[in-house]
Structure 1
Amino acid sequence: MTEDRRTDMTPDGPTEPPAETASDTAFETQPYTAQDSAPAGPVTLRSTLSRFRSDLYGGLRGACFLRSGFEKLDSTPLSLVLLIVADLVLNLLVSLLLVGRGGNFSFYSVPYFLFYLPLFLLFGMAGRYLVHRPLAISGIAAALVAFSIPIEVCHGILEWLAQWRPFERLSDHLAAPHYYRFFGWWLAAALLFLLRLEGPRGVARRLRLVLLFLVLVAVPLYYYQRGDLWVSKEEGNESGALTLTDEVLTAQNRLLDEQLAPLLPGRPGHPDLYFIGFAGDASQDVFLKELSVTRQLFDTRFGTAGRSVLLVNNPQSATALPFATVGNLERALVRVGEVMNRDEDVLFLYVSSHGSRDHELEVSNPPLELKQVTPELLRRLLRKAGIRYKVVVVSACFSGGFIQPLQEDGSLLITAADATHESFGCGFGENYTWFGEAFVGDALRSTYSFTDAFEKSRDTIRKWETEKDETPSNPQIWAGKEIWPVLKRLQKELEQRGAK
């Protein structure tokens, strides 16, 4: 890296700056005067660009855990501004190339993107008294920004590769929680930089500097991820962003109680069906639409009117339906377990959302921070509710991972895909996912048998996948030995009601 060699001014006259040792341990605290911060010469366009190139190269070295040149803390505010602009432009260009011109500039992401800046400046102000350098504020901030630029480039390259089928598994390692691997990379580079700074004398002072960094910078950034400045329409909420107004908060306080309190009890001698729908992802309306139609079908055809609950994450329904959260799902399951006849009634739980290869169902409703649904969590909730007989349908990619953990003698389990493949149809503007359309929109309208409906819908989905040249999703089904006679009695009861 190109470095400006300057003479430090002391009361005794000019002295050359202390030499660096191979072990990086020769740190000396030098008194400074106002002349230290004076520029070495006139600032020209050529010198500015030369320094900017050196800063970028230093950022690359720092990200590779090498000495970057920023350790001298001589970066000016102009250097910091140029690096911030470069960071913004890089993110915008990378996201534009990945998304294409059909995307939108996300003004919502700008505050999150620049959230680091006041943190870096605050840390620089606090750390200045430990490093005794006049340019510590801009010097520290410039280094931390510069280290992030090559890491952002690496992240962008991996995202580009993930768009190609041979590398599609990379996509699972580019979002939370795997995102934090990149954050950890930057954090390690930053900590090493702080330990190499020229200025702080003694181990105790350097440890205080590191502690300040962890408290003022690392912890806040851990909880606030940077977003892309150019996003596809698919990345935004189809119905817009949720606004937590007084009206929404007041409604949510009562909506779940209004659904749970009037649930009808089971009738001895008559097997009844209870329905709980869970639409987990607020970003796409297809989950709201699919679950709304499913509930209506079950209320009218399968007799769940007065025995159904619908939980939805979507800005459209924020004042009409309770949010789909783990806490609300737990309350709904417990309430159904209380009112149903556990020896003959059946719960039909239908969950629809995005799924990951780690078999985690997306539960999102920004700006809320919500807990995700895993197979183990769902199993605990069902067991806590004490519901003996249940049909659990999971409509999501890789949903087959829910089969084995949920297996019980009194359960029928249906998933839209196996544990290693995606399901299809969760696009913008859609009314159903492919599985939802085949299972709910078609098959369940002609039979009261859930297993027959599954077989018919699986054949339909295979046909669609062949026509679209898609990789088979392989919907799955599993039934415990105790559920068969219960479902037969329920089917007979429903057929008799339908014949009247």
Structure 2
Amino acid sequence: MRRYFPPPSLLGNLVSGVRCALFLHSQPERFSTTPGDLTLIALVDVIANLASSLVLVGGDGTFNYAALSQFFFHIPLMLLCGYLAGKLHERPGLVTAIPVALIATSIPIEFTFGILEWLGAHVPRLRWLEDHLRAPNYYRFFWWWSAASLLFLVRLGSGTARRAGVIAAFLFFLVAPLWFYPRSDLWLSPAEDTESGELKVNEAVLTAQSRLLDDDLSQLLHGKRGEPNLYFIGFAGDAAQDVFLKEVTAGEKLFAEHFAGAGRTLLLANNPQSATTIPFATATNLGRALNGIGKVMDRDQDVLFLYLTSHGSRQHELDVSNGPLDLDQITPESIRRMLKSSEIPYRVIVVSACYSGGFIEPLKDDRTLIITAADPTHESFGCGFGEKYTWFGDAFFGALSQNYSITKAFDQARETIRKWENEQGETPSNPQIWIGKKIEKKLAPIQHRLENQAQQ
């Protein structure tokens, strides 16, 4: 008996998947939907991602074991969606037909993304593709798959109520989970792991970290009655990319020089470059830094300026990573607890991260000014490898260097970012600001003092 490989059923499923991806009519009957067919198309999906990422990265990469489970967790959800659709349309075969069809639809879309990514990396005239394939543009491919899959599901049968039920099941059980928990590539380049190499937790690092924060706290200047000041803390959460370390270092220099804050600044950073010179950016160290500043500042007149920069998640967590260490993430609630413990009444909090607008609601009060690089549902830009600063950090610190008004600097930065986004064709990040009723009265004397000193 002659056996064919690949099996004709697999080829038929892939062809039907291409038709679905192109929004062409493709009935469930076009797909082979036995449990074996479902298993095979799921394995092809894994192999396709591995092959495309291998071509893009090369043989020097590493297998991303953590991503493997992401390639299978959606299958039970697809089966559930198929079961519900089968009940609604009284077609039991849909329980496997829908998973096969949706996976088959995703494969040509993923290959399209991979081909465009390869062209952007290897064809000089197409370098512009690289910028357009970064997030959030990557999610346009996710919406392509979602739209093509939705059209396939709508065409399953007639009846408004039945179609509405299938659409609701698809959006709730598939689109939402995959949007919030997207899968990663199975093969990663060393550059995707870390820009400056992995942290080596050796004796020199352990010895330095045991004293760095204590040394920095002991050198803080005390507040002076009648001379209000800003106390700056810069927090660079992600060790994999140098942009965050560069940004907080630039921020500290700006506040030490332009805002006459020498002796009133602290840095916390995760980066192999600074492991023996700057305290790690951890939740514990941030709490200690806030408590230390709370003890030396004049709480009636001085203001904390807390600058947090890292990657942000849709769950509004600030990424804190410094492999191989296992670190707690920063959330609005954890910051609120730290601020309460520090007893610092007046504060400016700036969060430069994707989805950082989600920090405003839990942290806002009359004595706080909060600035975020994006609203709660959008990404910000400039946090890639090789970047000098994030877009927001670049625009905001650039504006601050020209004046002493934090709110005016934010307004200028927002306009600058809007211009850059329009030029690059990016989805607006929508930087946000919250100004408490009492905080401006505390910032005004600091601004006036610095303006007067600058004129002398």
TM-score (norm 2): 0.67
Q: Which has the larger radius of gyration?
A: 1
Name the aligned partner's letter for residue 454 of structure 1. Answer: F
Matched, 1:264 2:221: yes
Counterpart Cα distance in 1 of 2:409 and 2:228: 20
1:96 shift after superposition: 3.8
Counterpart Cα distance in 2 of 1:157 and 1:337: 55
The 8 Å contact of residues 448 and 491 in structure 1, kept in 2 or not, is answered as: yes
Counterpart Cα distance in 2 of 1:62 and 1:259: 62
- In structure 1, the residue matched to 2:423 is 467
- In structure 2, the residue matched to 1:23 is none
Name the aligned partner's letter for residue 416 of structure 2. Answer: T
1:228 shift after superposition: 5.5
- In structure 2, the residue matched to 1:288 is 245
Matched, 1:248 2:248: no
- In structure 1, the residue matched to 2:280 is 323
Name the aligned partner's letter for residue 95 of structure 1. Answer: L
- In structure 1, the residue matched to 2:156 is none
Counterpart Cα distance in 2 of 1:456 and 1:437: 12
Gapped regions of structure 2 (runs ≥ 5): 11-33, 69-99, 114-136, 147-173
- In structure 1, the residue matched to 2:386 is 429
Counterpart Cα distance in 1 of 2:452 and 2:382: 35
Comparing 372-381 with 451-460, greater Cα deviation is found at 372-381
The 8 Å contact of residues 104 and 231 in structure 1, kept in 2 or not, is answered as: no
Any residues of structure 2 matched to 1:322-341 within 5 Å, and which?
A: 322-341=279-298
The 8 Å contact of residues 223 and 296 in structure 2, kept in 1 or not, is answered as: yes
Kindly report the root-mean-square deviation, in angstroms, between the aligned alpha carbons of the 2 structures.
3.7
Counterpart Cα distance in 2 of 1:285 and 1:340: 31
CA, structure 1 residues 158+354, in 2 after alignment: closer, same or farther (shift >3 Å)?
A: farther
CA, structure 1 residues 171+275, in 2 after alignment: closer, same or farther (shift >3 Å)?
A: farther
Matched, 1:444 2:419: no
Find the residue that maps to 1:101 and give its secondary structure.
helix
Find the residue that maps to 2:351 and give its secondary structure.
strand
Choose which of 31, 50, 54 in structure 2 pairs with 1:95.
50
Matched, 1:495 2:456: no
Percent of aligned pairs with the same residue?
53
Any residues of structure 2 matched to 1:135-150 within 5 Å, and which?
A: none
Find the residue that maps to 1:495 and give its secondary structure.
helix
Find the residue that maps to 2:55 and give its secondary structure.
coil
Counterpart Cα distance in 2 of 1:316 and 1:174: 35
Counterpart Cα distance in 2 of 1:408 and 1:384: 16
The 8 Å contact of residues 95 and 231 in structure 1, kept in 2 or not, is answered as: no
The 8 Å contact of residues 417 and 475 in structure 1, kept in 2 or not, is answered as: yes
Name the aligned partner's letter for residue 165 of structure 1. Answer: R
Counterpart Cα distance in 1 of 2:369 and 2:67: 46
1:499 shift after superposition: 2.7
Q: Deviations over 1:266-322 (max 9, x none)?
A: 001110110000001111111111111111111111122111110111111111111
The 8 Å contact of residues 106 and 228 in structure 1, kept in 2 or not, is answered as: no
Counterpart Cα distance in 2 of 1:421 and 1:113: 24
Matched, 1:370 2:324: no
1:238 shift after superposition: 0.8
- In structure 1, the residue matched to 2:343 is 386
Normalized per residue, which structure has more helix?
Answer: 2
Find the residue that maps to 1:368 and give its secondary structure.
coil
CA, structure 1 residues 92+369, in 2 after alignment: closer, same or farther (shift >3 Å)?
A: farther
Find the residue that maps to 1:265 and give its secondary structure.
coil
Counterpart Cα distance in 2 of 1:102 and 1:110: 15
Name the aligned partner's letter for residue 447 of structure 2. Answer: Q
Q: Deviations over 1:155-198 (max 9, x none)?
A: x86994994416369899569x958xx9xxxxxxxxxxxxxxxx
Name the aligned partner's letter for residue 269 of structure 1. Answer: G
Name the aligned partner's letter for residue 321 of structure 1. Answer: I
Matched, 1:273 2:227: no
The 8 Å contact of residues 65 and 186 in structure 2, kept in 1 or not, is answered as: no
- In structure 2, the residue matched to 1:356 is 313
Gapped regions of structure 1 (runs ≥ 5): 1-45, 54-59, 69-82, 115-149, 183-226
The 8 Å contact of residues 275 and 308 in structure 1, kept in 2 or not, is answered as: yes
Q: Deviations over 1:354-391 (max 9, x none)?
A: 11111111111111111111111111111111111111
Counterpart Cα distance in 2 of 1:257 and 1:265: 16
Counterpart Cα distance in 1 of 2:250 and 2:342: 26
